[in-house]
Amino acid sequence: MTTTLTRWWRDAVIYQVYVRSFADANGDGVGDLPGIRSRLPYLAELGVDALWITPFYTSPMADGGYDVADYRDVDPSFGTLQDAAGLIGDAHRLGLRVIADVVPNHTSDRHPWFQKALGGTDRDRYLFRPGRGADGELPPNDWESVFGGPAWTRVEDGEWYLHLFAKEQPDLNWDNPAVRAEFEEILRFWLDLGVDGFRIDVAHGMVKAEGLPDVGYTPQAKLLGRAELPYFDQDGVHEIHRSWRRLLDSYPGERIGVAEAWAPTEARLAAYVRPDELHQAFNFHYLTSAWDAEELRTVIDESLETADLVGAPTTWVLSNHDVQRHVTRYGGGETGLRRARAAALLMLALPGSAYVYQGEELGLPEVLDLPEELLQDPQRGSGEGRGRDGCRVPLPWSGSEPPFGFGPSELSWLPQPEGWRDLTVAAEAADPASTLSLYRDALRIRRAHPALGDGDLHWTTGPDGTLVFTRGDFACAVNLSGEPVNLGVDGEVLLASGPIQRDGSGFVLPPDTALWWQTGNPSGEAQ
């Protein structure tokens, strides 16, 4: 059999499905695999290349599924293994690839390994240590949990165990060969079932500095931080990623590994995507950039340069299940939506691969007023405000009343705002000016246009506060200046994120608007 390498991942648009909130098939108010399966045609029509599904494994849901009790089974609230196999098969028939989420830094405290460890058996699979102080009453070191408070919890016999996240998420000991062997088997299990790759949760966390030294200051880690810490981005993680790459490469069909990694510098982040390591890493520096021309230009240039160092594709992401939705981050209301639409055209015109978080194609904002008693995120109360539930509200599909076609019953695990009646898939699909139509058009053009996707870009000089670049005979301009600008160039409009005008000298771009056009000049000059 000959295999042609497509390197599909170098410019793939990957849609993130947060399983609890995408589509509910059985009416219990929680999204599930059959729900995703029933909506695959929607994703195919949207024009994405792949979906990444957040963890759907057996879990007590202390952290929405990122606390796994059985890595080889599906949580009953999400369906069955058969549903997973059916979903992968259907996706493939529709030309969509499926990326699973693997959580190797920690298990659930209900995982049989941890239960045994509590009983004193094979404790070395986790990081148990005696405490400090006269009676061991103080934690073994000063490490803090990403969710707040000490990263250590004491068990009945007096020892402490490490958990960089919630206390229900004990960290595994990756120095133990049994842990490494177990995860290779877990990866094989899902690869055999047909997944096209893995998003690797906390890919920078599995290896800790020798001797677990104190950090020496507080507060420490944020989920999306840049600090140098003895529990993140240790050199030893790369050996694990290399071995996983060999495993991925031993399967046909270009299966990929995507690092959810945080590193203090661009160069250290690039190390995760060296040719013998993972295929992609999320670009959180792009995600955390403000709506500001200079800042975005800097982060775009740095991202392209660092990816180039190791020959990896750049990736771009605006939102995910851990951060406030970008409509709200960019100012909320009409301004936020206008900017979010422009940001989508910017992101989808950049070289490389892009991630779309479910609901951003509808222009959904963060839900800021969820009732306190319904909040579930373990991160809330950690000084990060109300946590991450506001970006995890179930999707509105159709109809004029909540839960807007999310499932067949009245239930949805978090309530949707009444105002989402105008933001349902059905409402937006019928409106050529909607955000959904913008994403569909953009993805269709991106797929068809030879200059888009993988490659490079050429900046051209635009008015202050604008970003203007060409890629062959394609051009993109974004106006972040706050004032209408005259671009002084003209061409054939491909797509615009809002109404644009023309005067005698060319395009006039209103504030917070992006434009794609055809220059008619394949050499790359905008005029």
Nearer to ligand BGC, 321 or 326 (CB): 321
Gap between the Cα atoms of 368 and 241, Å rounded = 38
Q: Is 159 in the site for ligand BGC (CB under 6 A)?
A: no
Residue by residue, DSSP assigns 255-281 as -EEEE----SSHHHHHGGGSTTS-SEE
Gap between the Cα atoms of 380 and 302, Å rounded = 32
Q: Is 165 in the site for ligand BGC (CB under 6 A)?
A: yes
Residues 291-350 that bind ligand BGC (CB under 6 A): 321-322
Q: 185-190 long-range contacts, Cβ below 8 Å, gap at least 24? A: 186/71, 186/72, 186/102, 187/102, 187/244, 187/247, 187/248, 188/247, 189/71, 189/72, 190/100, 190/102
Which residue among the candidates 83, 109, 201, 473 is catalytic per the annotation? 201
- Smallest separation (angstroms) from ligand BGC to the CB of 111: 13
**Contact between 40 and 94 (Cβ < 8 Å):** yes
Q: Is 122 a known active-site residue?
A: no
How many residues form the binding site for ligand BGC (CB under 6 A)? 9
Q: Positive or negative CA dihedral for 7, 8, 10, 16?
A: negative
Nearer to ligand BGC, 59 or 460 (CB): 59
Residues 243-282 that bind ligand BGC (CB under 6 A): 260
Q: Give the residue closest to ligand BGC by C-beta.
A: 66
What letter would DSSP give residue 400? S
Q: Is 11 in the site for ligand BGC (CB under 6 A)?
A: no
- Smallest separation (angstroms) from ligand BGC to the CB of 317: 12
Largest Cα span, the chain: 82
- Smallest separation (angstroms) from ligand BGC to the CB of 146: 7
User: Could you report how far apart the first and last alpha carbons of the chain are, in Å?
Assistant: 48
What are the residues facing 496 on neighbouring strands? 515
Q: Is 63 in the site for ligand BGC (CB under 6 A)?
A: yes
Nearer to ligand BGC, 322 or 361 (CB): 322
- Which of 84, 103, 299, 423 forms a contact with ligand BGC (CB under 6 A)? 103
Gap between the Cα atoms of 154 and 303, Å rounded = 42
Nearer to ligand BGC, 11 or 171 (CB): 171
**Buried (b) or exposed (e) across 139-168, using 16+ Cβ within 10 A?**
bbbbbbbbbbebbbbbeeeebbbbbbbbbb
Q: Is 373 a known active-site residue?
A: no
Residues 403-442 that bind ligand BGC (CB under 6 A): none
Q: Is 233 in the site for ligand BGC (CB under 6 A)?
A: no
- Which of 24, 75, 109, 201 forms a contact with ligand BGC (CB under 6 A)? 201
Residues labelled catalytic: 201, 260
Residues of the shown chain interacting with ligand BGC in the complex, contacts defined by CB under 6 A = 63, 66, 103, 165, 201-202, 260, 321-322
